[in-house]
Structure 1
Amino acid sequence: MTSAATPEPAPRRKSRLRWWLLGALVVLVLLVVAALYLGYLGLKAKDSLDSARGHASSAQRAFLAGDTDKAVDEANAAVTDAASAKDDAHNPVWSAAAAIPWLGDPLQSVQEMTDSVDALASDVLAPTAELAGVINPDNLRAEDNTINTTALSEAQPQLAVIADRAEEIQADVTSTDGSWFGTVSDARTQLLDQLTESARFIRGTDTAAQLLPPMLGAGGERNYFFGFQTPAESRPTGGLLGAYGVVSAENGRVDVDDLGTNAEIDAPPNPVDLGEEYDYNYKYSRPYTDIRNSNISAHFPYAAQIWMSMWEQQSGTKLDGAVALDPIALSYLLDATGPVTLANGQKVSGDDVTELTLSTSYQQFANNNTARKAYLQEIAQKSVSALTSMRGNTSKVLEALGRSVHEQRLMVYSADEREQQLLADAGLAHDVAETAAPYANVVVGNLAGNKIDYYLERAITYSAGSCDSDTRTSTVEVKFTNTLTDLNLPPYVIGSLGNPQLQLPNGTNFSAVTLYGTQGATIDSATIDGESMLIAVGTERGHPFATGQIQIPPGETVTVTYQLTEPTSPGEPVVPVQPLVDDPEVKVDVPVCG
């Protein structure tokens, strides 16, 4: 007979339970301690990252100000703080926690950010600061009003290496996945913004070091056509060519030679040939021979080549490129160089040059067009002389030039293919870019021959559907407002004397409006205030375009709307803004597709 099993004594079970509870408590304590330690490391790393970013910004500002010692000190401080943040984020406890699936994502993101900030400080900021003394804007100026192109040339190879590294770091952060933890995700966004700014700044400096020496005549004299565009009478590149000059550059010294008005430029006996597509789109307006229509395309290199051809045949001087500027850009430059004084004693400053050249002068010289052009020509000549004689604070002049470039008010063309590609990459070319990215470029051209576009305001919206299929529907809407209220202005300003066959009430803005769309897109419809718009269609540099006419009575707004079917193209949307007098509101709601 088998006896029953003897039950385990109760004290032994209690002992095991105590050990389990004790073990669980120990684990819990360790987890709490680890969490507290991670929190400590996280706060410490965050403080170091914030400090590193602050020092990085200070180093860049000091670099621009030419303060070499401060730039180096701030860059070194950024290196120290970045290394400290990296050490904290790669602590063994942190690394173990970062390896936990999903929950460890924020910690892994912080590790990647500290790596990027450390690389930015060590590989970009520090070597850039060391170059501050070489390419200090003030040191680049010599007493004889020349630019030290030799220093730029010597610094360029190192700048190229730094720029490549900055863009590599930026690409690493861009490709890094975001985090479910909002604080970390926000920090990543801030870092990406700073990296983008730094990469753009260094690449821009590298581009300047490549372009300025040859374009300023380091290898021999260069000559350029210098055009002043008048956006009071709009053209697709900005405005009607008014005054002009010819600028020569040699060994870093820039001089203004010939100056004149558009009336002094003759039609060339052998016009330049810009190709079959250009002729098909524009030859009916005689752009090759009529200076008033020479910039009828939004692609500035076309206008530049026409201007160069006209002047070369008229003067016999070989030109190496062309530069265009408008009065708004001139105002930025005069803010930096200080006012100029005209022969009659009048001072013209950055505060009043735009209104003087685009509005007041047309009223002051309403019955004497020759005197008005001479007045504008003198303002242009004095302003360019102030710029080329290196007046004013160099950093402020560079800032003014940078703003003009950003707003596409300063355009440059070089006959040298390599230089022209660098100009295009830097955003100086004002070209109709041959890009497959989503694209919407709306330009207007005055058809009445008046100066009424001083009163034109625009609001532009570009929206498109999702990335779910090969094509998507997009909409481009432009609101044009004629803000003119004073109908007592001279007919030269608000009438249609430049196009006598028109029978329009004074104050009416009559313009051609053109949309350049995404490559491969179809422009399905165009309307004005909901009514069908008569359009002519074509293609330029791979972009479909549609051109129609609008009339805007004084004080009123018209809305032009385009519906398109466009390819679901990868890349950030490109929306150039025609440089007119206004600062248009631009809204872009176009998903970025991979």
Structure 2
Amino acid sequence: MDKIKKIFSCSKEEVVSQQEQPSVGSDVTPEAVDAGFHEFPDGGLPDGSRPKRKLSLPKISGKFAIVGGVVLLLFIVFGVIPAIGTYNSARKLSDSGKVFYQALQAKDLEQMRSSLGKVKEDLAGFDNSLGRLGWTRFIPFLGAYWSDAHSAAKGGIAGIEAGEIMLSTAAPYADILGLDGGAPTTDGGQKAEDRINFIVETIDDIIPQLDPLSKKTEVMATEFNKIDPGRYPKDFRGRPVQEPIKQGIEVVNQLHEFVSQGRPVLEQAPYLLGIKEERTYLFVWQNDKELRPTGGFLTAYSIIRVRDGKFEPVTSNDIYNLDKSFDSRIPAPDPIKKYLPLVNFWNLRDMNLSPDFKMSMDTFMEGYAKTGSPEVDGVVAMDTKLVVDLLEVVGKIGVPGYGNFSSEDDPRCDCPQVIYELESFADVAGPIVWDPVSGEIVYQPPNHDNRKKILGPLMNSIIANSMAQPKEKIAGIFEAGFNAIREKHIMFYFEDEEVQGAMEAFNLAGRIKEFEGDYLHISDANFAGAKSNLYVQQEVDLKVEPGNDGSTNTLTIKYKNPQKHDGWLNGPYRDWFRVYVPKGSELLDSTGSEVDIETSEDLGKTVFEGFFVLRPEGVLEVTLKYKTPVSKDDYKILIQKQPGTDKNPYVVQVGRDTEEFNLKADKELKF
């Protein structure tokens, strides 16, 4: 029996060894040895039972077991435990973030300040727990994600500290900003005049806070820009991943740009608000429904005086009357001669031909100076988008003598009611017709006198209503103003170089920018007289094939007018288009233009220009294929939005990478 037990407990090698030295009477077969057990002649053990089969495992040496145990222990200590800690820290951070978001939604200043402090504490805890996993940054692939998380934490802490500065600075302006929990600036209901006075008196207190704030936002932007959204999936379990990361980084950069570039403008606030000296401004209304290079046809103007932040309308008039005072005999530029019917001279209303707002206003103001009109300190150009956005916040307003205006949809034009009324006041019975030789008005619509008066009172009413709104609506008013600035629905021009420089630094001056890389700006000019841009839709597709000696770009611009001809607002769209690309680019092929594409240089760019007519219910595509001097190394492109346009969809494909977006403002892309 002892021998049998020994046989079944031995290894295969021992079995083989025993086979080589068989004992007397042994019936062990080679097959049995290979199977790892003995087979007795009767098929069982001497006692009649069958043996249990037992497969032996290799013995683990003591040293190997010790090493394996140490590795497992290290993995638990430096991997599992820190990972659990990081996960728990992330959950705490998420909870405190939700509390802050609720305070933000409630516009509760004190709750925002206290909850933001808790977010900062939890984010610091998350960063510390993340540091215990720092060894993973040396691991290929995994290390990049640790670095992203660490950068997000560092950037987030800097962002929270910036938020603390902003909330502290905003406390005295709580009522004006529509926040609860701050000290009221007046006893009870605050009037528009009280709000303006308070801003004027305290604006100098804000400027010292901008330096520390800018330093924090710079750290935040630097850290977030280290994150590469391209290494993340587009979505996970049906939820987008990559796009929210891109949008978050874009918002961070916009915030830093707003803070760092906004200081020069804030420093000029006493000048702009007429605190030390009264200012006079020329407000020019650009009709974006009749698109021109700087945003729209120059349809009307107002003279406004500003003293201590208070606006006083002086006069409001029709651009045609200003042209009558100008009495131009300047020969019209070639594009006007070729594409704008019956116009032989260069009138003030057509002087915004350059897509660079400053260049256009330089030309315009030279002519304005010859009209005998009041001298002005600057020009403010606005289009209808800002008017509509403000009315969406404040609601319906009344303008004495002209009726009520709102942003509600008007079925007569399938557009906001205020747009329909403004167009009605402008030329409901048709355009003004001038004699090309004498300059006299041959025909004018019945309400021609009304349109020269409406814009000043309308703007004054909007400003007064906006400043007198309850604080619950103030945030929406600020948002509408900020969006108008960022999206070029309002632009500024000043003779004073220092003030003009401040406007340009904050991208308020509508300049065509210099850029090291690829570049695109599409400039359309409606030379038809109708308001077809109320309906015309534009889609842009750009395909870039980067190479060592430059890139080959294929640009497709699709124009569509889905509405029927009405003889007033909608009619043939006569478009003089220009495409601005990097200087030195060469046109390879083109389709869609009714005239040969001309190549020229302007504003430091190469320009391709053409012309077409798009009729109501029509679709048309313009395609340009061109070679640029931009190489594939660190490819980037700046796309500048034309003022007066709104959220045109773009698709930009560079090699295998694709970006899709609506162009709301100038946009830089990196691939």
Q: TM-score scaled to structure 2, two decimals?
A: 0.72
Give the letter aligned to residue 47 of structure 1.
R
**Partner AA of 2:379 in structure 1:** A
> 1:437 — aligned with what?
517
**1:365: how far off?**
6.7
- After superposition, residues 27-426 of structure 1 pair within 5 angstroms as 27-51=71-95, 67-91=108-132, 94-99=133-138, 103-122=142-161, 124-136=162-174, 137-138=176-177, 142-143=193-194, 145-146=196-197, 148-175=199-226, 192-193=249-250, 195-203=252-260, 206=263, 208-266=265-323, 290-315=347-372, 317-344=374-401, 346-351=403-408, 352-358=417-423, 362-363=427-428, 369-389=444-464, 390-392=467-469, 393-426=473-506
Amino acid at match of 1:418: E
Cα contact 2:288–2:297 (8 A) shared by 1: yes
Q: How many residues align?
A: 552
Per-residue displacement from partner, 1:483-527 (whole Å, max 9, x unpaired)? 34144x35xx56xxxxxxxxxxxx432221111112332233332
2: CA distance, partners of 1:440 / 1:179: 23
Question: 1:463 touches 1:588 (CA, 8 Å); kept in 2?
Answer: yes
Decide which moves more: 262-271 or 41-50.
Answer: 262-271
Residues 282 and 82 of structure 1: CA distance in aligned 2, closer, same or farther (over 3 Å): farther
CA distance in structure 2 between the partners assigned to 1:483 and 1:543 by the alignment: 33
Q: Cα distance, 1:119 vs. partner?
A: 2.4
Read off the aligned partner of 1:107 and give its amino acid letter. Answer: W
Other-structure match for 1:481: 560
Matches of 2:170 and 2:535 in 1, distance apart?
44
Identity %: 18
560-569 or 448-457: bigger deviation: 448-457
- Provide structure 2 residue ranges, at least 5 long, that are not aligned to the other structure: 1-13, 15-57, 178-184, 409-416, 433-442, 658-668
Shift of 1:311: 3.8
* Residue identity matched to 1:228: W
Find out whether 1:566 has 2:628 as its counterpart: yes
Pick one of 570, 590, 602 that aligns with 1:540. Answer: 602
Per the alignment, residue 557 of structure 1 pairs with 619
1:388 is matched by which residue type in structure 2? Answer: I
Per-residue deviation, residues 319-342 of structure 1 (Å, max 9, x unmatched): 221111112221112223433324
Change in CA separation of 1:57 and 1:436 when aligned onto 2, cut-off 3 Å? farther
Higher deviation after alignment, 542-551 or 307-316:
307-316
Asked if structure 2 preserves the Cα contact closer than 8 Å seen for 1:86 and 1:114, the reply is yes
Are 1:17 and 2:58 an aligned pair?
no
Q: Pick closer, same or farther for the CA change 1:443–1:107 going to 2, 3 Å.
A: closer
Task: Report the CA distance shift for 1:194/1:480 in structure 2 as closer, same or farther (over 3 A).
Answer: closer
**Distance across 1 between alignment mates of 2:582 and 2:528:** 30
User: C-alpha distance in 1, partners of 2:344/2:500?
Assistant: 22
Counterpart code for 1:295? N
Instruction: Classify 1:95/1:583 alpha carbon distance in 2 versus 1 (closer, same or farther; 3 Å).
Output: closer
Instruction: Provide the rounded CA distance (Å) in 1 between the counterparts of 2:229 and 2:289.
Output: 47
Q: Which residue matches 1:502? A: none
The answer to whether the 8 A contact 1:440-1:516 is kept is yes
Equivalent residue of 2:606, what SS? strand
Alpha-carbon shift at residue 227 of structure 1 (Å) = 0.7
Alignment root-mean-square deviation, CA: 3.8
Most deviating of 447-456 and 292-301: 447-456
Whether the aligned pair in 1 keeps the contact of 2:397 and 2:462 (CA below 8 Å) is: no
* Corresponding residue for residue 550 of structure 2: 471
How far apart are the structure 2 equivalents of 1:376 and 1:571? 49
Counterpart Cα distance in 1 of 2:333 and 2:59:
98
Greater relative contact order structure (CA < 8 Å, 6+ sep): 1
Question: Closer, same or farther in 2 for the Cα pair 1:581/1:209, shift >3 Å?
Answer: closer
**1:322–1:413 CA contact under 8 A, matched in 2:** yes
Query: TM-score, normalization: structure 1?
Result: 0.81
Aligned residues of 1:523 and 1:544 also touching (Cα < 8 A)? no
Asked if structure 1 preserves the Cα contact closer than 8 Å seen for 2:574 and 2:614, the reply is yes
Distance in 1, matches of 2:270 and 2:379, equals 16
**What SS does the aligned partner of 2:114 have?**
helix
Counterparts of 1:315 and 1:425, CA distance in 2: 32
Kindly tell me: are residues 460 and 98 of structure 1, through their superposed partners in 2, closer, same or farther at Cα, counting changes over 3 Å? closer
User: Cα gap change, 1:410/1:199 in structure 2, threshold over 3 Å: closer, same or farther?
Assistant: same
For 1:449, which of 529, 550, 573 is the aligned residue? 529
Letter of the structure 1 residue corresponding to residue 421 of structure 2: L
Aligned partner letter, 1:79:
K
How far off its partner does 1:32 sit?
Answer: 3.5
Quote the offset at 1:40 in angstroms.
0.7
2:222 aligned counterpart, secondary structure: helix
Q: Gaps (5+ residues) in structure 1? A: 1-9, 495-506
Q: Cα deviation per residue 1:129-161 (whole Å; 9 max; x = unaligned)? A: 111124544469642755623422221232233
Q: For residues 255-294 of structure 1, give each alpha carbon's deviation from its aligned partner in whole angstroms, at most 9, with x where no partner exists.
A: 22121001221477799x9xxxx98998999999512211
Return the letter of the residue paired with 1:416: D
Within 1, Cα distance between the matches of 2:552 and 2:248?
34
Once the two structures are TM-superposed, the CA of residue 181 in structure 1 deviates from its matched residue by 7.8
Cα distance, 1:439 vs structure 2: 1.8
Report the CA distance between 1:480 and its aligned residue: 1.5
Amino acid corresponding to residue 320 of structure 2 in structure 1: A
Q: Is contact 2:425–2:448 with CA below 8 Å preserved after alignment?
A: no
After superposition, the Cα gap between the structure-2 partners of 1:57 and 1:309, relative to the gap in structure 1 and judged at 3 Å, is farther
From the superposition, tell whether residues 40 and 181 of structure 1 become closer, same or farther in structure 2 (CA, over 3 Å).
Answer: farther
Deviates more, 1:283-292 or 1:543-552: 283-292
Which has the larger displacement, 581-590 or 393-402? 581-590
Cα deviation code 1:508-548 (max 9, x no counterpart): 322211111123322333321xx774133322210111222
Contact 2:587 2:625 in 1 (8 A): yes
- The letter for the 2-side match of 1:236 is P
- Distance in 1 (CA, whole Å) between partners of 2:508 and 2:205 is 23
Counterpart CA distance in 2 for 1:289 and 1:533 is 23
- Measure the CA separation in 2 of the matches of 1:78 and 1:22: 44
